[in-house]
Structure 1
Amino acid sequence: MAESLPPNPRLLLVDDEENILRSLKRTLRKESYDICTATSGDEALSLLNDQRFDLVISDARMPGIDGPTLLSEIKKKWPWCIRILLTGYADINSTIKAINDGQIYRYISKPWDDEELKLVIRQALAFQYSERRRLALEKLTRKQNKELQALNASLEDKVQARTEELKETADMLDAAYTELKHSYVTATEVFSTLINKRLPANRQPNAKVIALVKAYAEYHQLDEDLSRDLYMAAALYNLGKLSWPDDLFMASSDLLSKEQRLEYLKYPVNSEQLLMALEPLRETARIIRHHQEKWNGYGVPERLEGREIPLGSRILRLAVDFIELQYGLVLERRVSRDNALKLIKRYRDRLYDPEIADGFLEMCIEVAPDVEHEDPDIVALDTLRLTAGMVLARNLYAASGMLLLNEGKELTSMLIDKLVAFEKGEPDGSRYTVYVHRPDEEETERAS
């Protein structure tokens, strides 16, 4: 029990009879208490005003201020002080008054049992000590709760400020990353012009492949990442050709010797290896590596088949073949735009993904992107973009090979209408590409 008591408890014993006080002190002499005595209620109140006591034991019947009244006064002024009443068997009314008004801890009957008295005092002090600790803990808890609330409010403000700071930083990083990705695309297009310096003037397809890939991506609304990787692949797919000898550059792919053919087939892998060290170009490098695979599984370098071929590679293959056929890089002769589209249609399920090939052909028919002629004064147009007064720069043939209009022919509204009607009657749905001389500004102004 000792460890549950306050250190050096102070007791005040109040009784108008000295012998009772001596008897109480004698009973408690071996206890570790600091004991004071008072012979009246007034003296007890005076001591309480000057000193702090943990427990008061008061006799019920005393002249002047009796025990219940004293304990009631102590309850009002020093409520934390434990109050015990000594009473005789006949003092039932005093006991009730002490219980009701003084809210005493216990009452002890005279004559008391020494051991019971000591036990009651110990229990009372232990209870008091426990209550003091509980109250102190409650006070500390309230204080800490207030501090915690203040800290939480401060923390919320700091978190909010930090969150806004992080969001601002994230937005800046996103903007920087977007700018970096855009810079990579721009850099690859610039680098493609350097590749062209190694290629003959009439065999520089990169710019046209880039324009065609962009038109396809916009027409079919490809996602941003795939579009960006495709743009860069279109700019850099020829990178692996830089180490070629001049004679390999000048030969069409269908006329290569066995040794040249082996060297030619390496260029997609060589291009990929030159780009692999650049992390933002990893997917671009992968597209380039597989852009010479064939839908039927007989391509290079890994003989991938069907959808095993990366989507970007399937799209790039179409764009490269369409442009390089017209540049004479595939066959011995240059292939017209219309015939290039026919070859793509013919091989749509052998060389190309049929679904993508159909989308590519649809895009070329609907959008009809021009593949610029070597002569800047010549433009390629579909029939719907022709206007009266334009002059043919090349002979125009039907799908059957029949000559429709001669080079140098000036178009009239009637000729254009007949040409459109004839085009609609082509059995395979072929569309014509008409090469005309670019009208000068004065003629354009007069026409308008």
Structure 2
Amino acid sequence: MEDQLPTTVTDKPKLLLVDDEESILNSLRRLLRGQPYEVLLATSGAQALEIMAQQPIDLVMSDARMPNMDGATLLAHVHQRYPDTTRIMLTGYADPSAIIKAINEGQIHRYISKPWHDEEMLLTLRQSLAYQHSERERLRLVQETWDQNEKLKRLNATLEKHVAARTSELQQTADMLDLAYEELKRSYVTGTEVFSLLANLRLPPAKQTNRQIIELVRVYCKLHGLDEGTSRDLTMAAALYNIGKLSWTDSMMSTPSDLLHHNDRERYRGYPKQSESLLMTLDPMKDAARLILHHQERWDGSGFPDRLKGEAIPFGSRLLKLAVDFIELQRGLILERQMNSDEALVYIRQYAGRLYDPELVEDFIQVCATYLSDVTLADPTVKVLTTRDLAAGMILARNLNADNGMLLLNAGKVLNGPLVEKLIAFEAMEGARYSIFVKVPEQVESALLETS
């Protein structure tokens, strides 16, 4: 059996499409253009095997009926030589014998009928590659556990040879078991992150949140020196806080929570409890599940599900709410308008003491400024003003966009009187209310103080 080199995590998955009809291959290539894959083409089974002998392939999709070597035979060869490669058969006719042969000899992952539906084809490819990634990670963890067990077996064998040293050797073994258990916990965290990325596939990329929330929580834990157990629970809670939403419709998942209708709003208020229920059966997840249960509680007691108030809300839940709302405000999952990072922090500061722990808010803003290069709010020289508070000589601290996303002014622009008047007029025309992030030079501030 030939060994196939694994692809690295930074490589795009490689897809090999095999069909003797070039029109089919061209259609598939057009469909996959812009997808995060490297696509290779072959017009015969022999050519496909030549390509696979030269480079690793993650997924092969072959037409069933081809001259010389049919799809089932090709996939059987692939299974024998490259068992780690995912195999899919594309068939344009109902041939039970070919499908049975592909399943029995090629052990195909899926088969797709021609003509295919584009969205179903893309979903099948994404699910197949996600399953392959998860299986590779599982096998890696199994191998790692087996290696650790082998080390423990060798250690145990030496105990009978040195009776005098038995006590110290038993202590050494216990220490290694503790290390192995800690490593298993860390592996559990990795597993939750992988699962969260798969769950995020329900949302379009612009609406996905979990990866950014995980990274933000990690930065907070590192900057504040939180212990490993607390950091681990917060990371797992950040990875799976919205697992209770997976039963929602696609429309409900991408609709801002403030725009949900009555029935959907009641279902929305139930998702923290649903998430906790799904995770409580997993012993390592119990503490993280409790943080998820209460991450929609509010400082003033108006939150859900238990209307906890103030410090009765677990610290981790208070922090998780800040991180979740900060990212979801920017994704348009809370309000209809998508905010930039500074606007989201202004919103959070505005509701400190009502929605958020007031003692955590400013600390959280400083962490965001450390983590994100586009946050200016933590800079004491930056002010947040309305258009009518603007004055000539002020300098934009960040880009100004209209509510529809159109760029109005670039960061660094020095304001003048006519420009301020145009902004006020445009704001009135749009029926909007802009928050302008500006730096105020000393001479401008002095002039404002003299006229006030």
Partner of 2:15: none
Partner of 2:352: 348
Partners of 2:342 and 2:169 lie apart in 1 by 57
| TM-superposition CA deviations, 1:264-314 (whole Å, max 9, x none) | 011111111111111000001111011001111111111111111111111
Q: CA deviation at 1:181?
A: 1.0
Distance 1:197 1:413, change over 3 A: closer
Alignment of 1:281-320 (within 5 A): 281-320=285-324
Match of 2:326 among 305, 322, 329: 322
Structure 1 residues not aligned, in runs of 5+ = 1-157, 371-379, 386-395, 428-448
The answer to whether residue 244 in structure 2 is matched with residue 233 in structure 1 is no
Partners of 2:249 and 2:208 lie apart in 1 by 16
Partners of 1:426 and 1:273 lie apart in 2 by 57
Partner of 2:385: 399
| TM-superposition CA deviations, 1:320-379 (whole Å, max 9, x none) | 0000001110001101211111111111111111112221122223x1425xxxxxxxxx
Distance 1:339 1:409, change over 3 A: closer
Partners of 1:291 and 1:335 lie apart in 2 by 21
Aligned residue for 1:202, secondary structure, equals: helix
Partner of 1:212: 216
Partners of 2:208 and 2:195 lie apart in 1 by 13
Match of 1:243 among 224, 240, 247: 247
Partners of 2:265 and 2:308 lie apart in 1 by 19
Identity %: 50
Distance 1:253 1:289, change over 3 A: same
Partners of 1:345 and 1:400 lie apart in 2 by 16
The answer to whether residue 270 in structure 2 is matched with residue 252 in structure 1 is no
Aligned residue for 2:325, secondary structure, equals: helix
Partner of 1:166: 170
Alignment of 1:48-59 (within 5 A): none
Q: TM-score, normalised by structure 1?
A: 0.50
Aligned letter for 1:422? Answer: V
Alignment of 1:103-142 (within 5 A): none
Aligned residue for 2:329, secondary structure, equals: helix
Partners of 2:341 and 2:297 lie apart in 1 by 23
Partners of 2:378 and 2:270 lie apart in 1 by 42
Partners of 1:268 and 1:341 lie apart in 2 by 23
Q: How many pairs were matched up?
A: 248
Distance 1:303 1:412, change over 3 A: closer
Match of 1:182 among 178, 182, 186: 186
Distance 1:160 1:231, change over 3 A: farther
Q: CA deviation at 1:201?
A: 2.5
Distance 1:244 1:358, change over 3 A: same
- Root mean square deviation, CA, Å: 3.4
Q: CA deviation at 1:165?
A: 1.7
Partner of 2:203: 199
Aligned letter for 2:286? Answer: R
Partners of 2:191 and 2:309 lie apart in 1 by 32
Q: CA deviation at 1:246?
A: 1.8
Deviation above 6 Å: which 4+ runs of structure 1?
Answer: 408-415, 423-427
Larger Rg computed on CA atoms = 1
